[in-house]
Amino acid sequence: MSLINAASLGLSASPSFASDPSGALYAFGDSLSDAGNVFTLSLGKIPVSPPYSDGRFTNGAVWVQDLAASLNLPAVTPSLRGGTDFAYGDAQTGTTPQHAGTAIDLPSQLAQFKFANHNPQADALYTLSIGSNDVLDSISVFPTNPAAAMNNIAAAAANETQFIVNLIGNGARNLAVLNVPDIGGTPRARGSAPGTTQVASYLSALYDQQLNTALQPLTGFFNLHVVNAFALLDGAIANPALFGLTNVTDPVWTGNYTDPSSGTVRATGAAADSYLFFDSLHPTAHGHAVVSSFAQASLA
């Protein structure tokens, strides 16, 4: 697969790293970055594998694993197995009006990072993918209480900003932050009640706008790069051939991630690489590779 760069979507990247990151890649966030923590925590039950691959919420490597390999950094493995990936599927930014907070959310991930004696290294790369589950919570309340939904978005974006500030305060200097993809473009949104796709897209964009505004003062002082996953997803749906895709609407796996009898697998192997979505929310391994390539181009 050819490298997808920011220019191909008409996007501009932040200033490049002063030097290439070295040492390690530390990942935080949700299922987009979880290399197997939830799988380990659930004793191999979630996500059910197969059809999911080796405890990841897709059919292969997640984007942070691809990115580490591309940058010649050590392999990214789950923190619960002694690795540098502290992300958990279903994680949220922290406590919000719609979420009481759990032991897998961002504040707990940072605490686990510190407990494992991983002191932030200035030459390491820190990645973050979070916010999608907070947006999903907001989507569910928007039809009856739009103000509550938007308040939830504001609280979640503030939580993510504070997490990034805390990382920087502890010495992190190279950061790649994946913003929230356009959830309105996912099979889950398209298969929901009429109007859901529009609400999902609006709230995803609102989250990203508030995050960008909050992070803007930091970008001039640190190697902080916001990777525009929202535009990347919309670009892949609008121009699938550019990304080596033919199906950007249907998921490979039609079921959920807890019950192997809840659905069917539409494609395997190379055939699955032509799909953007592995399930109703998560990209295929090929989709993750596209995200990794785009993230690497954004860092250049």
Regarding the domain delimited by 6-299, which CATH topology (the fold level of the hierarchy) does it fall under? Rossmann fold (3.40.50)
pLDDT average, residue stretch 225-249: 98
3-state secondary structure of 260: coil
Q: What span, in angstroms and rounded, lies between the C-alpha atoms of 172 and 224? A: 10
Q: What is the pLDDT of residue 261?
A: 95
Of 73, 62, 67, 68, nearest in space to 35 by CA: 62
Looking at the DSSP bridge assignments, the partners of residue 115 are none
The per-residue pLDDT for 20 is 52
300: pLDDT confidence band, cut at 50, 70 and 90? confident
Coil, strand or helix at 235 = helix
Q: What is the mean pLDDT of residues 167-188?
A: 95
Strand partners, 127: 27, 176
CB atoms within 10 A of CB 173: 20
pLDDT digits (tens, 9 = 90+) for 199-213: 999 999 999 999 999
What is the residue type of 119?
Answer: N
Is the preceding omega at residue 187 within 30 degrees of 0, hence cis?
no
Give how far Cα 42 sits from Cα of 35, 38, 214, Å: 14, 6, 35
User: 42 near 145, Cβ under 8 Å?
Assistant: no
pLDDT range class, residue 118, cuts 50, 70, 90: low
**Is residue 168 exposed (0-12), middle (13-18) or buried (19+ Cβ within 10 Å)?**
middle
In the prediction, which pLDDT does 10 show? 38
Q: What is the pLDDT of residue 17?
A: 43
Task: Give me the residue spans of the domains in the chain.
Answer: 6-299
Cβ-Cβ contacts under 8 Å for 178 (sequence gap 6 or more): 29, 32, 63, 127, 128, 129, 227, 229, 291, 295
Could you read off the pLDDT of 261-274 as tens digits, one per residue? 999 999 999 999 99
Determine the average pLDDT of the residues in 44-57: 97
